[in-house]
Amino acid sequence: MIPAAARAWLLSEEPASPLQARLGVAYLGWLRFLRNPLAVAGLIIVLALVAVAALAPWIAPHDPLAQDLANRLRPPLSPGHLLGTDEFGRDILSRLIHGARVTLQIVALVALTAPLFGLLVGTVSGYFGGWTDTVLMRLTDIFLAFPRLILALAFVAALGPGVENAILAIALTAWPPYARVARAETLTVRSADYIAAIRLAGAGHGRIVLRHVAPMCVSSVIIRVTLDMAGVILTAAGLGFLGLGAQPPLPEWGLMVSSGRKFLFDNWWIATMPGLAIFIVSLGFNLLGDGLRDVLDPRGAGR
Amino acid sequence: MSLLEVEDLRVTFPTEAGPVEAVRGISFRLGRERLGVVGESGSGKTITGRAVLGLVRPPARLAARRLAFDGRDLLAMGEGARRALRGRRMAMVMQDPKFSLNPVMRVGRQLTEGLRLRDRMSAREARRRAIAALEAVRIRDPERVMEAWPHELSGGMGQRVMIAMMLIPGPDLLIADEPTSALDVTVQAEVLRILDDLVRERGMGLIFISHDLKLVSRFCDRVIVMYRGRIVEEIAARELENARHPYTRGLLGCLPRIGGPRGPLPVLARDAAWEG
Amino acid sequence: MAAPRVEISDLHVTFGQRGRRVRAVRGVSFSVAAGESYGLVGESGSGKSTILRAICGMAPVSAGSIRIDGRPVPRGRAFARLVQMVFQDPYASLHPRHTVDRVLSEPLAIHGIGDRDRRVLAALAAVGLPRSFRFRFPHQLSGGQRQRVAIARALMLEPEILLLDEPTSALDASVQAEVLNLLQELRAERGLTYLMVSHDLAVIDHMCDRLTVMENGAVVEELRREQLAAGDFRAPYTRRLFEASLEAGG
């Protein structure tokens, strides 16, 4: 798999550069990850989603928006339409493939913004304590007090429907758990001797929080993010389903479930196929998150 | 017949960088005597104790030519039988009582639970036995300690409670893994005396695992010195001053003494040949 | 005569607010001369480590004073260049995600000191670690090696006073000997002043010229090394520590 020389270089007990040291640790984590077959399955699903999204125009058999009323409501396995067609005769497989792009866009944008904000709020809150902590955490509590979808609905209602606003609304509702996780981690880290040592070396608060405390919280947050991705996809789908997220004719999976529900009894595949896609991708992220937990857990950072 | 027979015991841990053998073929026998197992961290002494008790879990692998307790082959025994043996005839006292007592259960309940569930004893009888056990470890006010939560006990008190709990079923073999290392020096002596008396009175076999060679030699009949998963020397405790292996001698020599010379302390020059 | 390097007078440290107050240190006084090695001995809860933390400004001083060279203790970077500390547990005192190189160069970065490559390599050499350890992570080091890194870190800013909080109690006996020898060498080479805390009377006796025995936050007695070796002490508590130390190995 990996040539013996590269393996020896990675596992070297005497790395010659910071890069080699880091890669060595990453490689050990990767080996630990590989021991968990379910996590590998999750990773494959997520990678498949990325690949499908990237190659959508080339692998989709039809134009996802092209209507063909003569061929409407074809069941799965019809000639030319592997997963059948919907009420306008559009190819469901092609719509699912292009829908992967929308899903990935939502996931990526939420995963980039919400955790960073949560991490910042959580570490600052936990590190400084006192009034800072009280104010930031009560704010977090307010956000946590509302069900996620309801709050996202309120934001979208205020901002107007559309994919961009749905992403914004989801990000705005997604950060509080990350702030909580980061704060909990910070509370255990802040009294550690290595933090006392760097404080004794004269380091300022900003440096301690950003360079010494935050890195210890990142892995917990990453695990949480991966596990939350299923929820994000479902919320996006939910918003789409309610007509407040992506707008027709965009092939968004939640929207496809929503429009298929009218035909659920006679033409089950229209709602079921996108539902299955949501299910599989959510499952993939969950399995991946579980696997990452074993690899990234700071307490298991040894060997 | 020996109480415990260990022959060519090996324990291997798989790691990402390949398997690591923590115990590499050790053999010893134990009668109704006190055996010290001494070594530094990483010598495999704790894992040896856990292997005898059957607490080595996958993915770690255990292999031995023979591992027998009171003539019964432990390797051929099922997990249920091992557990029954651990409850009644083998017991272990660990380093830190903080981690060995259940923090959300009163001491009294922890002491009597085994008696009531395993031996189907009445609440009254179990309580009587538990109080007797606490008195045996010289706890002055056993009634009060029975009602206490573990966090209300001092380190020395907690360790005595642990010893009492282990001794209630009257085991034949007691494995004590650094039972006093977490305690203050003035409390250590007291706990050791209690342990010593109990072992003597009840005629148990004792495996005393420690990093402290001098302590072990005062307390045991025989001492096994381990280094990197192997036994480098086995010696009668009285003869320790005449130990021959350079590692044993090095361990004895490297401690500072009150009023000792001020120069650099002698350090161990580790020799690859010791790993055999 | 010059002011003592470190002077603690009638120090009180009290934790907790209203209601539950723990008086961890109660009226402790002693002074350490420049270049001296001074020991604090006691068991858990005696307040010995709390005194070190109070010097670093990490414990609330409720009364009394701490003076260095006759002046109040400076804070921030000035303090960092004067006083450093070595912690008890080398498994907890190194950042688990930082390489040895990062651990050692961070104090230099904070103080804007250049020439980092040379200084890091010199520090590794000073504590007897090979150059090849530079990019290892703490989990790739043994306890003794970690403690050497921690000592090297404490010396990066070339402080004059080193606070040693049970620096060898988490180490094996043979490793303890190596680390104690290293600390002795460094003190001789650099003329450092040590204030060392330990529960082990023999270790303090080996390292220090004078010592204070503490119990429950208060001073039991102050002794010179010769007095300890000769058994010339009055307090029964000191005798108990002394006897326990003769019995146990370490």
Contact B202, B222 (CB under 8 A): no
B174's CB contacts (< 8 A; 6+ apart) are: B90, B91, B92, B93, B166, B167, B199, B204, B205, B206, B207
pLDDT digits (tens, 9 = 90+) for A25-65: 888 888 888 888 999 999 999 999 999 999 999 999 989 98
Domain span at residue C160 reads 6-247
Which residues from B are below 8 Å from C88, CB to CB?
A: none
Question: Which of B193, B214, B218, B265 would best serve as a mutation to test chain C binding (most C beta carbons within 10 A)?
Answer: B265
How confident is the model at residue C21, as a pLDDT?
Answer: 79
B67's CB contacts (< 8 A; 6+ apart) are: B5, B6, B7, B9, B51, B52, B73, B74, B75
Which chain C residue has its CA at the smallest distance from A296's CA? C97
Contact C173, B211 (CB under 8 A): yes
How confident is the model at residue C250, as a pLDDT?
Answer: 46
Which chain B residue has its CA at the smallest distance from C172's CA? B40
| 3-state SS, residue C219 | strand
* Contact call for B17 and A11, based on CB within 8 A: yes
B117's CB contacts (< 8 A; 6+ apart) are: none
pLDDT digits (tens, 9 = 90+) for A72-92: 888 888 888 889 888 888 999
Which residues from A are below 8 Å from B16, CB to CB?
A: 11, 28, 31-32, 303
Identity of residue B249:
R
Which chain C residue has its CA at the smallest distance from B190's CA? C244
Shortest CA gap C56–chain A (Å): 7
Tell me: pLDDT of A269 over 50.
Answer: yes
Confidence of residue C1 (pLDDT cuts 50, 70, 90): low
Residue keyed to tokens 């909990």 = A184
Which chain B residue has its CA at the smallest distance from A11's CA? B17
More reliable by pLDDT, C103 or B84: C103
Task: Quote the CA–CA distance of B67 and B85 in Å, as a whole number.
Answer: 14
pLDDT digits (tens, 9 = 90+) for C123-142: 999 999 999 899 998 988 88
* Contact call for C249 and B189, based on CB within 8 A: no
How confident is the model at residue B133, as a pLDDT?
Answer: 85
> What's the N-to-C CA distance of chain B in angstroms?
30
How confident is the model at residue A302, as a pLDDT?
Answer: 40
Which residues from C are below 8 Å from A13, CB to CB?
A: 136, 140
pLDDT digits (tens, 9 = 90+) for C142-156: 899 999 999 999 999
Does A82 contact chain C (CB < 8 Å)?
Answer: no
Question: How many other β-carbons are positioned within 10 Å of the β-carbon of residue B252?
Answer: 17
Tell me: pLDDT of A24 over 50.
Answer: yes
Shortest CA gap A295–chain C (Å): 14
* Contact call for C249 and B212, based on CB within 8 A: yes
Closest Cβ–Cβ partner in A16, A17, A212 for C95: A212
Task: Quote the CA–CA distance of C221 and A243 in Å, as a whole number.
Answer: 80
Tell me: pLDDT of A299 over 60.
Answer: no
Which residues from A are below 8 Å from C89, CB to CB?
A: 193
C102's CB contacts (< 8 A; 6+ apart) are: A18, C95
How confident is the model at residue C2, as a pLDDT?
Answer: 65
How confident is the model at residue C249, as a pLDDT?
Answer: 52
Contact C67, C73 (CB under 8 A): yes
Residue C90: which CATH number?
3.40.50.300
How confident is the model at residue B219, as a pLDDT?
Answer: 84
Question: Which of C174, C199, C211, C213 would best serve as a mutation to test chain B binding (most B beta carbons within 10 A)?
Answer: C174
Which residues from A are below 8 Å from B17, CB to CB?
A: 11, 28, 303
| Strand residues in chain C grouped as ranges (E) | 6-15, 22-32, 37-41, 61-68, 71-72, 83-86, 161-165, 193-198, 210-215, 218-224
How confident is the model at residue A303, as a pLDDT?
Answer: 34
> What's the N-to-C CA distance of chain C in angstroms?
39
Quote the percentage of chain A above a pLDDT of 70: 97
Q: C54 lies in a domain?
A: yes
- What are the tokens at A267? 């033409």
Per-residue pLDDT averaged across A123-143, rounded? 93
ipTM of the complex: 0.91
Helix (H) or strand (E) holding C5: none
Phi-psi region of C158 (alpha: psi -120 to 50; beta: other; left: phi over 0): left
A201's CB contacts (< 8 A; 6+ apart) are: C80, C84, C106, C107, C110, C111, C153, C156, C157
Tell me: pLDDT of C202 over 80.
Answer: yes
Per-residue pLDDT averaged across C109-128, rounded? 93
Omega of the bond leading into A249 within 30 degrees of 0 (cis):
yes
pLDDT digits (tens, 9 = 90+) for A135-155: 999 999 998 888 888 888 888
| Strand residues in chain B grouped as ranges (E) | 4-15, 18-30, 34-38, 61-63, 66-69, 72-73, 90-93, 173-177, 205-210, 222-227, 230-236
Confidence of residue A301 (pLDDT cuts 50, 70, 90): very low
Per-residue pLDDT averaged across A277-295, rounded? 89
Q: C25 lies in a domain?
A: yes
Q: In chain C, how many domains are there?
A: 1
Shortest CA gap A301–chain B (Å): 13
Contact C11, C54 (CB under 8 A): yes
Instruction: Give the CATH number of domain A103-300; options: 1.10.3720.10, 3.30.470.10, 1.10.8.350, 3.30.499.10.
Output: 1.10.3720.10
Omega of the bond leading into B256 within 30 degrees of 0 (cis):
no
How confident is the model at residue C185, as a pLDDT?
Answer: 94
pLDDT digits (tens, 9 = 90+) for A217-239: 988 898 888 888 878 888 888 88
Low-confidence ranges of chain B (pLDDT < 50): none
- Give the chains touching C; criterion: ≥3 Cβ pairs < 8 Å: A, B
- What are the tokens at C27? 């009226």
Tell me: pLDDT of C106 over 70.
Answer: yes
The domain spans of chain B are: 1-89+211-276
Which chain B residue has its CA at the smallest distance from A26's CA? B16
Does A199 contact chain B (CB < 8 Å)?
Answer: no
How confident is the model at residue B84, as a pLDDT?
Answer: 85
Any idea which fold B1-89+211-276 has? Rossmann fold (3.40.50)
Does A25 contact chain C (CB < 8 Å)?
Answer: yes
Helix (H) or strand (E) holding A6: helix A4-10
pLDDT digits (tens, 9 = 90+) for C55-95: 999 999 999 999 999 999 998 899 999 999 999 999 899 99
Shortest CA gap C13–chain B (Å): 22
* Contact call for A192 and C139, based on CB within 8 A: no
- Give the chains touching A; criterion: ≥3 Cβ pairs < 8 Å: B, C
Does A32 contact chain B (CB < 8 Å)?
Answer: yes
Task: Quote the CA–CA distance of B272 and C242 in Å, as a whole number.
Answer: 37
Per-residue pLDDT averaged across C226-244, rounded? 88
Contact A251, A66 (CB under 8 A): no
In this predicted structure, which of A169-173, B125-129, C243-247 has the lowest mean pLDDT? C243-247
Q: Which of B99-103, C117-121, C230-234 has the highest mean pLDDT?
A: C117-121
Give helix then strand counts, H and E, for chain B: 10, 11
Residue keyed to tokens 């190596």 = C178
Task: Using alpha carbons, list the distances in angstroms from residue A147 to A100, A143, B120, C30, C163.
Answer: 26, 9, 50, 61, 52
Tell me: pLDDT of A297 over 70.
Answer: no
Which residues from C are below 8 Å from A17, CB to CB?
A: 135
Give helix then strand counts, H and E, for chain C: 9, 10
Tell me: pLDDT of A17 over 50.
Answer: yes
